[in-house]
C-alpha cells in the first residue's frame, strides 16, 4: 500500500518536473529568437525543410479533403434542396476547422517527427553538449530557427490547404456533380466573415507553436527519459511520443480555441 | 599541496593515503573555504567531494581531484564508473548534488549564465564521438567557435580553420560532411574544433575508443604534437591506461564512483591496490607479457 | 553555392504561394477592401434589424452597391446601421431603405428603393425613411392565432 503511494508521489513529481522543464524550454526557445546574432540563413533553411517540403503533402491531402467535403455536402444538402449552400459549407468547414487542424497534423507527421529525431540524435551524440561547451546557446542556435520556421510555415500551409481544398470542392461539386459554379463561389464569399479568417490564423499560429514546442522539447530532453533515453531506441520512443502528444494537443487546443472564439 | 611545483612522488604520497581510504574526506571539505580563494598554486581544476545520483543511482560518491596546470591528467576506469559524468561536471553541463567544482577560481557547480560561459571559453573538448554537427561540413564545424564568439571576417575565419585543420592533417577535406568521414577522421576534426580558440584546458573523452591500434598511436602522436605547440592542460578520460605517456603525467584511477588512486604515471605501476593492479594488468600488462614470451 | 540559391528560391516561392493563398481568402472571401476608404458612409435608423449581419449586401434593383459596415444602438432605442456605398452611386435623399430576406430562410440584406429627388444624401448623412425587418415568425404566429 505504502509502495503504491510512493510510486504515485514519484510519478507526480516526475510529471510536474517535466511540465516545468517544458515551460522553461519554451521560454528559452522564444528568448533565443531575439538574442543576437540572429541566424537568418538557419531560419531560411528550416522554412525550406518544414514549409516548402511539406507543400506537396498538403496539396494532396487538401485536394481530396475538399473533394470529399464537396461530395458529402452535395448529398446532404440535396436532401434539403439547398445545393447552392455547398460553397459556403465547404469553405466554412475548411476555414474554421479542417484547414488549420489537418495541415497542422500533416506538418506534425512530416516535419515534427523530423525535428524531434534530429534534436534527439544531436543530444545522444553529444552535439548539444558540444555546442554548450563552445558557449553556443543551443536554444538560440538550434531551437529558435525551428520555432520561427514553424510559426511562418504552418499558417502559410494552412492557407494553401484552404485554397486548394476549396478548389477540390469545386472539382467534386461543380465539375463532377454539376452545382452551379456562380452559386458555389458567391455562397462562399457571402458566408465567410473576417472573424473566420482570424480564427484560422490564430489556430494555425497556435498549432505551429505546439508542434515545434513539443517535438523539439521531446528531442532535447531525450536523455532525461525515465525508461532510459539512450541510443536509437530512446530517440525512436521520444519521436513516437512527440507525434502522439502533438496530435492530441492540437485537437484539444482546437476545441479550446473554438470554444473561446465562437 | 601547498608547494606548487611538487615532484610527482611528493604529490602521490600526499594524495594517495587520503583518497585511497575515502574515510577521512570530510576533513578536506572543512578545509575548503580557505582553499577556494588560494588557487595560487598550480591547480587549475579542483573537484571537492562531488556527489551525483541519477534516479536514485549514485554515480559519483564523493570525488575529489586536483588537476595541475600545464600537465596531463589521465582519468582511467572501466566503463560505467562515472568518468564521462565527471567530465560533464567539470564543464558545468551537469550540476552536482553536493560538492564543488572549481575551475581557475570559479565554482562551476554554482556559476550561471555569463560566468559559466566565460569559464567554458577556457575549455576545448573532444567528445567521444567527436560530436560534430551533422548539418554542417568540416569547414563550418571547425569555424563554428569562431563564428559564434568572434566577429572575424569570413576570409580570416577560413584562414584560421585551415591552419588548425593542417595541424591535424585534415585540411584537404573541407567540404565533406561528418557522415562521410571515418571515426578517426571525425576525431581529428573534433580536435581541430576543440583547439580552434586555443584553450587553456583541453578535455578528451575516450579519444581512442573505436580506433584501431595504428590510429590510436596516431591520435596520441597528434595529441603530443598539439600539446607541445599550444601548451594546454590536458584531461584525458579513458577506459584503459595508454601506453605511451610521459612519466610525469598524472593518472587518476576511478572505480565505483570514487578516485581510488591519484599519482604519477611512474608510481601507478607500483600500486598495491588490487583494483588498480588488475586495471594495469588488463591494459598495460600485455607489453610485459609479450616481452616475456619473446624471452 | 548553387544549392544555397535553390534553397532560397524554394523558400521564396513557398512564401509567395502562401501570400497569394492568404490574399485570395482575405480579399475574395473575407471582403477586405485593399483600396479602402473610397466608399462613403451612410447611416439608416431602423426600429428592428433582427437577423441583419455586418457585411450583408446593400442592393438597388438587385445590383450590389455597398455593404453593411456596422450595426449599433442609436438614439431612442433605434438600430443604427452604417452602410458603405460605392462612390459612383449617388442616393437621392428620398430613398426608402428596407431590410429583406433572400428566399424564405436566406440571409437578410438591405434593399434601397430609388427616389426621385435631385438632392443627394451626403457622406455621413442619415436616412430615416426605413422599413424594418419582417419577422417571419411573428407573421406566422399572427396568422395562426388569427390576429390578421
Query: Tens of pLDDT along B144-191?
Result: 888 877 778 888 888 888 888 888 888 887 888 888 888 888 888 888
Complex ipTM more than 0.85, yes or no? no
DSSP designation for B196: T
The average pLDDT across B13-27 equals: 40
Average model confidence (pLDDT) for chain B?
75
Structurally, chain A folds into a number of domains equal to 1
Backbone phi, psi, residue B235, to 5°: -120, 120
Alpha carbon A195 to chain centroid distance? Answer: 21
DSSP-derived secondary structure letter, B93 = S
Interface test with B, best of A126, A140, A142, A228 (most B CBs within 10 A): A126
Taking the C-alpha atoms of residue B108 and residue B122, their distance in angstroms, rounded to an integer, is: 12
Question: How would you classify the pairing of strands B98-103 and B106-107?
Answer: antiparallel
Contact call for A193 and C54, based on CB within 8 A: yes
pLDDT for position B83? 81
Q: Which residues of B touch A131 (CB under 8 A)?
A: 133
CB A110 within 8 A of CB A102: no
Q: What is the pLDDT of residue B248?
A: 64
Three cell numbers written together for A212: 515545434
Q: Which three cell numbers stand for residue A10?
A: 514519484
Q: Which residues pair with C60 in a beta bridge?
A: C63
Residue of A191, A189, A173, A192 lying closest to A77 (CA atoms)? A173
Interchain pair B127, A126: CB under 8 A = yes
Contact C82, C69 (CB under 8 A): yes
Average pLDDT of span C43-64: 82
Per-residue pLDDT, averaged over A136-141, amounts to 86
* DSSP run (H or E) holding B172: none
> Within chain A, where are the H helices?
2-34, 40-50, 55-79, 86-93, 99-107, 113-124, 127-133, 138, 144-170, 181-191, 194-220, 231-261
Q: Please give the biggest Cα pair distance in chain A.
A: 71
Neighbours of chain A (3+ CB pairs under 8 A): B, C
pLDDT reported for residue B86 = 85
| C124 pLDDT more than 70 | yes
Residue A35 DSSP code: S
Q: Is residue A13 part of a domain?
A: no
Is the pLDDT assigned to residue A154 strictly greater than 90?
Answer: yes
Q: How many CB atoms lie within 10 A of CB A257?
A: 16
pTM of the entire structure?
0.77
- A167 within 8 A of A220, measured Cβ to Cβ: no
Q: What pLDDT was estimated at residue B243?
A: 67
A192 in a domain, yes or no?
yes
Q: Look at residue A254 in the predicted model and tell me its pLDDT.
A: 94
Chain A residues near any Cβ of chain C (below 8 Å): 44-45, 47-48, 51-52, 55, 91, 95, 152-153, 155-157, 159-160, 162-164, 188-190, 192-194, 196-197, 200
Cβ distance of B132 and A133 shorter than 8 Å: no
Using the predicted structure, report yes or no on whether residue B4 has a pLDDT greater than 90. Answer: no
For the four alpha carbons of A173, A179, A184 and A187, in that order, the dihedral sign comes to: negative
Cβ contacts of B120 on chain A, cutoff 8 Å: 132-135
- Closest CB to C25 among A48, A152, A163: A163
Comparing B132-141, B209-218, C33-42, which segment has the lowest mean pLDDT?
C33-42
Does some domain include residue A10?
Answer: no
Half-sphere exposure of B133 (CA within 13 A, CB side): 22
* Residue A155 domain-assigned (yes or no): yes
> Which residues form the domain of A137?
39-261
**B79 touches B37 (CB < 8 A):** no
Do the beta carbons of residue A244 and residue A113 sit within 8 Å? no
* Position B31 pLDDT exceeds 50: no
DSSP state of B94: S
pLDDT in tens, B221-276: 888 888 888 888 888 888 777 766 666 678 888 888 788 778 777 777 777 777 77
| Other Cβ atoms within 10 Å of A189 Cβ, number | 16
Tell me: pLDDT of A251 over 60: yes
Please judge whether B91 and A121 are an interchain contact, meaning their C-beta atoms are less than 8 angstroms apart. Answer: no
Q: Is A130 on the interface with B (CB under 8 A)?
A: yes
Q: How far apart are CA A219 and CA A213, in angstroms?
A: 10
Amino acid at each position: 500500500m505504502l509502495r503504491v503511494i510512493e510510486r504515485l508521489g514519484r510519478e507526480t513529481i516526475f510529471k510536474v518536473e517535466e511540465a516545468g522543464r517544458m515551460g522553461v524550454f519554451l521560454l528559452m526557445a522564444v528568448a533565443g529568437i531575439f538574442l543576437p546574432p540572429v541566424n537568418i540563413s538557419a531560419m531560411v533553411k528550416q522554412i525550406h525543410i518544414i514549409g516548402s517540403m511539406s507543400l506537396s503533402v498538403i496539396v494532396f491531402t487538401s485536394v481530396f479533403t475538399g473533394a470529399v467535403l464537396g461530395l458529402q455536402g452535395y448529398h446532404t444538402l440535396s436532401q434539403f434542396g439547398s445545393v447552392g449552400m455547398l460553397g459556403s459549407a465547404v469553405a466554412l468547414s475548411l476555414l474554421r476547422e479542417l484547414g488549420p487542424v489537418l495541415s497542422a497534423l500533416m506538418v506534425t507527421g512530416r516535419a515534427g517527427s523530423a525535428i524531434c529525431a534530429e534534436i534527439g540524435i544531436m543530444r545522444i551524440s553529444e552535439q548539444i553538449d558540444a555546442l554548450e561547451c563552445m558557449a553556443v546557446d543551443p536554444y538560440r542556435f538550434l531551437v529558435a530557427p525551428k520555432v520561427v520556421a514553424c510559426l511562418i510555415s504552418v499558417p502559410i500551409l494552412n492557407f494553401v490547404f484552404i485554397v486548394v481544398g476549396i478548389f477540390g470542392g469545386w472539382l467534386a461539386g461543380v465539375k463532377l456533380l454539376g452545382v452551379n459554379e456562380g452559386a458555389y463561389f458567391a455562397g462562399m464569399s457571402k458566408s465567410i466573415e473576417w472573424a473566420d479568417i482570424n480564427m484560422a490564423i490564430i489556430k494555425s499560429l497556435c498549432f505551429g507553436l505546439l508542434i515545434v514546442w513539443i517535438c523539439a522539447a521531446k528531442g532535447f530532453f531525450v536523455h532525461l527519459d525515465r525508461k532510459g533515453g539512450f541510443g536509437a531506441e530512446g530517440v525512436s520512443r521520444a519521436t513516437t511520443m512527440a507525434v502522439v502528444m502533438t496530435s492530441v494537443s492540437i485537437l484539444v487546443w482546437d476545441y479550446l480555441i473554438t470554444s473561446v472564439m465562437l | 599541496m601547498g608547494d606548487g611545483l611538487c615532484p610527482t612522488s611528493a604529490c602521490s604520497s600526499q594524495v594517495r593515503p587520503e583518497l585511497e581510504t575515502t574515510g577521512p574526506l570530510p576533513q578536506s571539505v572543512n578545509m575548503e573555504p580557505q582553499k577556494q580563494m588560494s588557487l595560487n598554486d598550480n591547480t587549475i581544476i579542483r573537484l571537492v567531494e562531488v556527489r551525483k545520483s541519477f534516479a536514485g543511482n549514485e554515480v559519483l560518491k564523493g570525488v575529489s581531484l586536483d588537476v595541475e596546470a600545464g600537465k596531463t591528467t589521465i582519468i582511467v576506469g572501466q566503463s560505467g564508473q562515472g568518468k564521462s559524468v565527471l567530465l560533464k561536471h567539470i564543464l558545468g553541463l551537469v550540476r552536482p548534488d553536493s560538492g564543488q567544482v572549481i575551475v581557475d577560481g570559479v565554482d562551476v557547480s554554482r556559476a550561471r549564465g555569463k560566468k559559466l560561459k566565460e569559464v567554458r571559453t577556457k575549455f576545448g573538448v573532444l567528445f567521444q564521438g567527436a560530436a560534430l554537427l551533422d548539418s554542417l561540413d568540416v569547414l563550418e564545424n571547425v569555424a563554428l567557435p569562431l563564428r559564434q564568439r568572434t566577429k572575424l571576417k569570413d576570409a580570416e575565419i577560413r584562414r584560421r580553420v585551415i591552419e588548425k585543420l593542417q595541424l591535424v592533417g585534415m585540411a584537404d577535406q573541407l567540404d565533406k560532411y561528418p557522415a562521410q568521414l571515418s571515426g578517426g577522421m571525425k576525431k581529428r576534426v573534433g580536435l581541430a574544433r576543440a583547439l580552434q580558440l586555443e584553450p587553456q584546458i583541453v578535455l578528451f573523452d575516450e579519444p581512442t575508443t573505436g580506433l584501431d591500434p595504428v590510429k590510436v598511436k596516431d591520435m596520441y602522436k597528434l595529441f603530443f604534437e598539439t600539446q607541445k605547440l599550444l601548451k594546454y592542460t590536458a584531461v584525458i578520460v579513458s577506459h584503459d591506461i595508454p601506453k605511451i605517456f610521459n612519466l610525469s603525467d598524472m593518472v587518476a584511477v576511478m572505480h565505483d564512483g570514487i578516485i581510488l588512486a591519484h599519482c604519477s604515471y611512474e608510481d601507478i605501476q607500483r600500486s598495491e591496490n588490487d583494483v588498480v593492479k588488475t586495471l594495469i594488468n588488463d591494459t598495460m600488462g600485455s607489453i610485459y607479457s609479450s616481452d616475456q614470451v619473446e624471452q | 553555392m548553387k544549392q544555397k540559391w535553390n534553397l532560397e528560391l524554394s523558400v521564396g516561392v513557398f512564401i509567395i504561394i502562401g501570400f497569394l493563398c492568404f490574399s485570395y481568402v482575405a480579399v475574395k472571401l473575407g471582403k477586405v477592401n485593399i483600396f479602402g476608404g473610397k466608399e462613403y458612409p451612410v447611416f439608416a435608423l431602423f426600429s428592428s434589424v433582427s437577423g441583419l449581419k455586418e457585411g450583408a449586401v446593400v442592393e438597388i434593383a438587385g445590383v450590389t452597391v455597398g455593404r453593411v459596415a456596422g450595426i449599433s444602438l442609436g438614439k431612442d432605442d433605434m438600430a443604427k446601421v452604417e452602410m458603405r456605398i460605392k462612390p459612383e452611386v449617388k442616393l437621392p435623399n428620398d430613398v426608402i431603405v428596407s431590410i429583406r430576406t433572400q428566399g424564405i430562410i436566406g440571409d437578410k440584406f438591405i434593399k434601397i428603393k430609388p427616389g426621385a429627388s435631385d438632392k443627394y444624401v451626403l457622406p455621413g448623412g442619415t436616412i430615416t425613411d426605413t422599413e424594418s425587418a419582417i419577422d417571419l415568425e411573428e407573421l406566422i404566429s399572427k396568422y395562426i392565432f388569427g390576429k390578421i
